[in-house]
Chains A and B, each alone.
Chain A
Amino acid sequence: MASVPATSPRGGVPWAAAVRRATRRVAASPLARVVGRRTLQTVPVLLGVSFITFCLLTLLPGTAANALLPENATAQQVHALEHQLGLDKPFVVQYLDWLRDVIHGDFGASLGSQQPVSDILGQRLPVSIELIVLAFALSLAFAVPVALLGARRPGGIVDRLNVVAGMVGLSMPMFVLGLVLVLVFAVDLRVLPAQGFVPLGESLWRNLQHMVLPSATIAFPLFCHYTRVLRADIVDQMNSGEYVVTARSKGVGPWRILTRHAFRNAIFPTLTLVGLNLGTMIGATVIVEQIFGLPGIGQALVTGIDTQDIEVVIAIVLILSLTVVVANLLTDILIALLDPRIRHGRSHG
């Protein structure tokens, strides 16, 4: 890092030198290098994912012409429409055209209702996002204390119960769990609604009432998964971390060692898992929204496939897969930010 002269030889702008100096300092930091490398690696994956998605569009049965024209359309009419939609161009050109539109936020219009797909997404996405955020919050809020309790005494009663419950929870298919919850809380106890949705803006309380069961359905298997991994890593840290011995010999209390020392070192695999789980969770929203009749993006996907509404299906698949890729990227960056070993570039040592 050579020091940059205060007055830049090139720049007329007075703050240019400061900006350049800052840029250079950031570029030299190991954190920036990790972030930069991961981001660059993501670009081809993003492009590949969009290309596969576009291939799916051409794979799906039913062409746009079939959907837009009456049954008895002449070959000429079909040809004219295909020309108008650009379907007679070479495949790669079609892909690039489509990619350009998508980057500009234009996903086309639903073949069924003629509504712009971006409008449909605008209505549906908030429901799914609320569902996922609530599920994450619920699962982590329960997983951290339970894992700490289990790791407090490995092999103890809490710990064993944890292991058994975790195995059962992980084997419970999401829609079995969802339907059992409906059976108990909506049909038998009649304390929560079985189906339906109330927008957040209308009534917070009734919105949450409708969201409790769906988000709990998604959260429970995640909770089991996180508890299991987190507990194992905390126990691992307690057994192998030299800093634990140091802390013990200093006379630090067991809870403090658990929460302040072991937990902080053990959280990284779980964080990675949270990022990786996003893909599974997005698949789960499809099922859960169907069970509980939530008007989210997953429900739109199922209806879209049923009615062969290609434009809607493609837009949703693209958004879901891009979310997964970006979530993986953000997880890596978050871990680089949190882990001082990576932050200060001593990861290879």
Chain B
Amino acid sequence: MADQIAIVQAPPAASRGVGRSWSSRLRALELWIPGVVLVAIILACVVWPWLGTLPDPVNGHLDQPYRPLGTAGHVLGTDTLGNDNLSKLVYGGRLSLEVGFGAVAIGMVLGSLLGMIGAYKGGWVDSIVSRVLDMFLAFPALVLAMIIANYLGPSALNVTLAISLYSLPAFARLARTSTQRLREQPFIVAAKLAGTRDWRIIVRHVVPNIVPELLTFALLSVSTAIIIEASLSYLGLGVPPPAPTWGGMISMGQQNIYSFKALLLLPCGALFLTVLALNLLGDALRSRWSSV
């Protein structure tokens, strides 16, 4: 009887084995391709300006505007003011990444702290925290960022702070739900019964368990934060010119849409590629971690 079952079960098990190796290879690619692209983008934007081989992204030669792609000395051409497009892309990208990662880091730390404390303490602390966060979630992210950035005054740091305020409630919610799920787990109860202090339970037992989830969500949030940063600079409410930003480049490109399309397509492409890499990587990590 046992042999029969083994024989009957063998073929599907074998074919499933082949399928798994293929799909696991595909899944590795899903993780590695966006990962490598993202690392390449980050390296290009962070290391390249530092090497000193790029022309200045501002104060270009006013007598050399609208150079097409492939001009000697300006691989991606120049803009309406004679600034090098490649250099602007790199410096703009550095700013986008700084703002994106910075805003999400602030939002993640403060937000998850609020969420964890709320869920761990429960009771009135929890209800006040959640109600206030609900209220902030009612404001569209871009609108909130526009107003706060305008109030704080236009600078990279202030734009970062304004965008972090958008990601904070979402992180708090996520941390809250995850902590609530953990709170009744035996190891937390055991730690409590052993007389461990609250902050120690949070740091040693709660945080390590919710960090993977938070980090995956953070990758997806960085892409949103970068889009909001670009939107703000496109609207002229972000980091002010002459600092090169992708949003500012897109705005300039739109003004020249009939005469010089590269000026629009270059920053659009850069933004799209960065956001796509972040989203694909976040997605791959999420499915990997949720299936384990």
Q: Check B139 against A52 for contact (C-beta < 8 Å).
A: yes
B50 within 8 A of A: no
A282 touches B140 (CB 8 A): yes
- Nearest A residue (CB) for B134: A45
List, in ascending order, chain B residues with CB within 8 A of A138's CB.
none
- Interchain CA distance A176-B146 in the complex, whole Å: 19
Nearest CB of chain B from residue A178's CB, rounded to whole Å: 10
A202 at the interface (CB under 8 A from B): no
CB nearest neighbor in A for B166: A283
Residues of chain A within 8 A (CB-CB) of B264 are: 179, 183
Chain A interface size range: 35 or more
Q: How far is the CA of A291 from the CA of B251 in the complex (A)?
A: 9
* Contact status B250-A175, CB under 8 Å: yes
Task: Report how far A321 CA is from B138 CA in the complex, Å.
Answer: 5
A56 close to chain B: CB less than 8 A = yes
**Chain A residue contacts of B135, Cβ below 8 A:** 45, 48-49, 52
Question: A179 touches which one: B134, B142, B254, B278 (CB < 8 A)?
Answer: B254
B119 at interface by CB-CB < 8 Å:
no
**Inside 8 A of A283's CB, which chain B residues have their CB?**
140-143
Interface set, chain B 131-165, CB cutoff 8 A to A: 131-132, 134-143, 146-147, 150-151, 153
**Is B223's CB under 8 angstroms from A171's CB?**
yes
* Chain B residues, CB < 8 A from A65: none
Contacts A48-B135, A180-B268; A167 near B276 (Cβ below 8 A)? yes
Residues of chain A within 8 A of B250, CB atoms compared: 175-176, 179
Contact in complex: B134, A287 (CB < 8 Å): no
Check A342 for interface membership: any CB of B closer than 8 A: no
Check A317–B257 contact: CB distance below 8 A. no
Closest to B227 in A: A173
User: In chain B, what residue has the closest Cβ to A180?
Assistant: B268
Contact A171–B138 (Cβ < 8 Å): no
Give chain A interface residues in 33-48, CB to chain B under 8 Å: 44-45, 48
Q: A286 at the A/B interface (Cβ < 8 Å)?
A: yes
What B residues does A312 contact at CB under 8 A? none
Tell me whether B199 is interfacial, beta carbon within 8 Å: no
- Is B261 close to A, CB under 8 A? yes
Whether B234 pairs with A287 at a CB distance below 8 angstroms is: yes
Knowing A48-B132, A168-B276, A321-B138, the reply to whether A182 touches B147 (Cβ < 8 A) is: no
For chain A, residues 262 to 297, give those with C-beta under 8 angstroms from any C-beta of chain B.
Answer: 279-280, 282-284, 286-287, 290-291
Report Cα–Cα, A341/B134, bound state, in Å.
27
Q: Which residue of chain B has its CB nearest to the CB of A305?
A: B150
Asked if A176 and B254 sit within 8 Å, CB to CB, the answer is: no
Asked if B140 and A280 sit within 8 Å, CB to CB, the answer is: yes
Pairwise interchain contact A287-B138, C-beta atoms closer than 8 A: no
**Is the CB of B236 closer than 8 A to any CB of chain A?**
yes
A170 within 8 A of B: yes
A287 to B137, CA, bound (A): 19
- Whether A179 contacts B253 in the complex (CB less than 8 A), given A173-B271, A282-B140, comes out as yes
Contacts of A44 in B (CB 8 A): 131
Q: Does B83 contact A (CB under 8 A)?
A: no
Are A321 and B139 CB-contacts (below 8 A) given A171-B276, A175-B234, A287-B234? yes
Known: A49-B135, A168-B276, A291-B254. A173 touches B140 (CB 8 A): no
Assembled-state Cα–Cα distance A88/B136 (Å): 28
- Residues of A contacting B141 in the complex (Cβ-Cβ under 8 angstroms): 279-280, 283
Nearest to A290 among chain B residues (CB) is B235
Whether A173 contacts B272 by the Cβ 8 Å rule is yes
Closest to A281 in B: B140
Task: Flag if B272 contacts A287 (CB, 8 Å).
Answer: no
Residues from chain B with a CB closer than 8 A to the CB of A290 are: 234-235
0/1 interface trace, chain A 158-192, chain B, CB 8 Å (1 if under)? 00000000011011111110011011000100000
Q: Given A60-B150, A167-B279, A317-B139, A183–B234 Cβ distance below 8 Å?
A: no
The answer to whether A301 touches B143, judged by C-beta atoms less than 8 angstroms apart, is yes
Q: How far is the CB of A57 from chain B (nearest CB, A)?
A: 10
B55-87: which have CB < 8 Å to A? none
What mask results when residues 14 to 50 of chain A are scored 1 for a CB within 8 Å of chain B, else 0? 0000000000000000000000000000001100110
**B136–A52 touching, CB < 8 Å:** yes
Residues of B at under 8 Å CB distance from A? 131-132, 134-143, 146-147, 150-151, 153, 223, 227, 230-231, 234-237, 250, 253-254, 257-258, 261, 264-265, 268, 271-272, 275-276, 278-280, 283
27 contacts between A and B (CB under 8 A): A45-B135, A56-B147, A59-B151, A60-B151, A167-B280, A167-B283, A171-B223, A171-B279, A173-B227, A173-B275, A175-B231, A179-B257, A179-B264, A179-B268, A182-B254, A183-B257, A183-B265, A187-B258, A279-B139, A282-B140, A283-B142, A286-B140, A302-B235, A305-B146, A305-B147, A306-B237, A321-B138
